[in-house]
Chains A and B, each alone.
Chain A
Amino acid sequence: MKFKNYDYYLIILTTFILFMIGAVSLYGITYYNYLAVDSGWTKTAQYSRYIDEMDSYLYPFLVLLLISLGLCIPKRLFEQDILLKFSAIILGITVILTIFSTIETGLGFILIVMTVVQSFVLVLTIRKSKSIRFEKEGYIARMGSSLLHLGFVVIMLNFVSLRDSPYHLLIFWFGVIFITLGNVFSFYPEKMASLLPDIGRQDT
């Protein structure tokens, strides 16, 4: 089953979610300014409550963003109807985990799923598999897109679930490298192809 303008509405949804995260951040600035009545307020319980409150506003949009990313990532692997069912199941499990545990657990679950899926997409992209489909043309641009999405979910997983891990910073730097390379490859595929002729040749 193929939905008309599927990708277009997916982009509108993603843009809207990003815009809403921006609105949450703006609210955070205003709220911080309202609460910061003296210089010692960050040492009070009120500051911890502020952090928890802000996290609780952000996390639903983060889940939505991941779902939208999820609808975007595996569309290269599955047909649209399978993809929608897949996303609905993931969202359902996330909601159940959030209800019976915490939102961090739910987010952690969805992030692990997305990291696995995106790693799989990256491997398939590197191997030039015919089973994945991209909007973007060219090997380097596709590599960039895969790296960028993987870097994004790795960084988020690291922030949400691995803050106390001894490998926290190491994973963080891997995420930064993926995101930076992903951005450069996505934005400048032709220049990268000329700089890396061995990889660039695979575009043809």
Chain B
Amino acid sequence: MGYTEYLGAREFLVMVGQPVITYILIMSLFQGIFSILYLFRKDSNYFDYLIKCLYISTGLYFIGFFILAWFHIQIYNTVLIEYPAALRQMIPVETSRIAAPLWIESEKLYFWAMCASAFALTVKKRKDIVAFIGTILSLFSLTVYFFSNPFKDPLPIVNSEITRWYAALSSGDMGIFQLAGTLYGRVTYYYNSTYMWTHPPMLFIAYASLIITFAACVYMLFKKDKLYDEIAYSYAKIGYILLTTGMLMGYPWAIEAWKDSAWWWDPKISGSIMMWVLYSAYLHSRIYISKGRMWKTTAYLGILCSVSLVFTYLLTYIVPGIHSVVQP
């Protein structure tokens, strides 16, 4: 087992995964068309087609996820990092294997979209909200396919780390010492960290749930129907629990992994605080939803929360910081 086997698994992932995500895209486009048709014509036939498309696209998302899981297992089984003897005095282990979580790099948006699709299937009370969510998910799938396709160039950063490691190993390059130190840090504090396996998925499941809250809050602006508020609240509860606990779980991880780095008031952390306080404000305002102007205030707050959620997600790509992929 080694680099060749790893490359074989990666090629197999591209070969099998690309058709799956293409079918997801096609089904999602149909889903989007039927959603729009239902929203304008209110014909139940369109809604039935939309639900069928939603079931198929969600099923395909899960199939793709299992294929990704298989690839991650292959990375774990095939790639073995053996640290040079000279480094073993500084590094407490002799070897490492990469247990990469399924929500890193281009996979995170895929995971979020998959969870959102699964949540959409649980909204049964209002057809109009389901159709609206169907449209959002259709756009989401388009974004995943064109901007964050996990099957096109699977895990480019992990791949470059593995490739550089094996290249340095075979050439006897002295840079391997520095590379081994960097890899040890990445494997220990990032890929294999318990927090990496708990903190991000909790947040992504929360984000997925809060998409439903957003859709219901948009409808609340136009119609004062108690059911819209109930839908918004029932998904906000799930989202808020996961968001709160998930965010808090990032704290001990930051202390451990970034002990020599500056992370307090980092843009992503500020964004997360902003998102959390806005959701707290939303939950507070809905206590008196039937009083005065609180119905609309709550609806606007629910929408603002979702805007801040998307903004916080995008911060990784637009503003420099310790969480970010862009640097000044």
Q: Does A198 contact B (CB under 8 A)?
A: no
B268 CB to nearest A CB, Å: 9
Residues in A neighbouring B321, C-beta threshold 8 A: 32, 36
- Tell me whether B241 and A28 are in contact (CB under 8 A): no
Q: B285–A11 contact, CB under 8 A?
A: yes
For A4-29 the 0/1 string (1 means CB < 8 A from B) is 00011001101100110110011011
In angstroms, Cα B34 to Cα A34, docked, is 45
Contact indicator B281/A18 (Cβ below 8 Å): yes
In the bound complex, residues from chain A placing their C-beta under 8 Å from that of B241 are: 180, 183-184, 187
Interface contact B315-A29, CB-CB below 8 Å = yes
Nearest-CB distance from B262 to chain A (Å)? 4
Query: Are A18 and B267 CB-contacts (below 8 A) given A42-B261, A155-B248, A180-B244?
Result: no
**Which segment, of A43-51, A91-99, A114-122, faces chain B?**
A43-51
- Which residues of chain A have C-beta atoms less than 8 A from B291's C-beta? 8
Given contacts A155-B248, A176-B245, A187-B241, are A18 and B277 in contact (CB under 8 A)? yes
**Also in contact, A18 and B265, with CB within 8 A (given A11-B288, A29-B271):** no
A139 in contact (CB, < 8 A): no
Interface size class of A (residues with CB under 8 A): 35 or more
A183 near B240: Cβ-Cβ < 8 Å: yes
Does chain B have a CB within 8 A of A84?
A: no
Are B267 and A28 in contact (CB-based, < 8 A)? Answer: yes
A124 within 8 A of B: no
In the bound complex, do residue A22 and residue B274 qualify as a contact, i.e. CB atoms below 8 Å apart? yes
Q: Chain A CB within 10 Å — which of B266, B270, B321 has the most?
A: B270
Q: B284: CB under 8 A from chain A? A: yes
A172 engages B251 (CB within 8 Å): yes
Which chain A residues border B308 with CB–CB below 8 Å?
22
In the complex, the answer to whether A36 meets B274 with C-beta atoms within 8 Å is no
Q: Which residues of B contact A15 (CB under 8 A)?
A: 281, 284-285, 297, 301
Residues on the B chain within 8 Å of A164, using CB: none
The minimal Cβ–Cβ distance linking A57 to chain B, given in whole angstroms, is: 10
Report the bound CA distance from A101 to B297 in whole Å.
Answer: 39
Instruction: Name the interface residues of B298-328: CB closer than 8 Å to any CB of A.
Output: 301, 308, 315, 319-322, 327-328
Which residue of the partner chain B has the closest CB to A35? B328
B229 CB to nearest chain A CB (Å)? 15
Q: Which residues of B contact A113 (CB under 8 A)?
A: none
Closest CB-CB distance, A26 to chain B, in whole Å? 6
B residues within 8 A CB of A38?
A: 328
- Chain A residue with Cβ nearest B261: A42
Give Cα A8 to B267, complex, Å. Answer: 33
- Which residues of B sit under 8 angstroms from A47, Cβ to Cβ? 262
Cβ of B172 within 8 Å of any chain A Cβ, yes or no, is no
Contact A8 B288 (CB under 8 A): yes
Closest chain A CB from B44 CB (angstroms): 33
User: Is A179 among interface residues, defined by CB-CB distance under 8 A?
Assistant: yes
Q: Does A165 belong to the interface (CB within 8 Å)?
A: no
Could you say which residues of chain B place their CB within 8 Å of the CB of A32?
265-267, 270, 319-321
Please tell me if the beta carbons of A28 and B248 are within 8 angstroms of each other in the complex: no
The 0/1 profile, CB within 8 Å of A marked 1, for residues 244-256 of chain B is 1100110110010
Residues of B within 8 A of A54 (CB): 265, 270
Q: Is the beta-carbon distance between B284 and A33 smaller than 8 angstroms?
A: no
CB distance from A169 to the nearest CB of B (A): 6
- Judged by a CB distance under 8 angstroms, whether B182 is at the interface is no
Known contacts A15-B285, A25-B270, A179-B248; A187 and B237 CB within 8 A of each other: yes
- Bound Cα distance A51, B263 (Å): 10
Residue of A nearest to B327 (CB): A39
The one of B245, B265, B271, B287 that contacts A50, using a Cβ cutoff of 8 Å: B265
CB distance from B283 to the nearest CB of A (A): 9
Are B248 and A37 in touch, CB under 8 angstroms?
Answer: no
What is the distance, in angstroms, from B52's C-beta to the closest C-beta of chain A? 31
Flag whether B163 is at the interface (Cβ < 8 A). no
Complex contacts, B280 vs chain A, CB 8 Å: 18
Report the separation of the CA atoms of residues A176 and B50 in the bound assembly, to the nearest whole angstrom: 41
Q: A21-B277, A25-B270, A180-B244 are in contact. Are A39 and B284 (CB under 8 A)?
A: no
Pick 12 A–B contacts, CB within 8 A, sort by A: A18-B278, A18-B281, A21-B277, A22-B277, A22-B308, A25-B273, A28-B267, A29-B271, A29-B274, A42-B322, A169-B255, A183-B240
Mark B residues whose CB is within 8 Å of A.
237, 240-241, 244-245, 248-249, 251-252, 255, 261-262, 264-267, 270-271, 273-274, 277-278, 280-281, 284-285, 287-288, 291, 297, 301, 308, 315, 319-322, 327-328
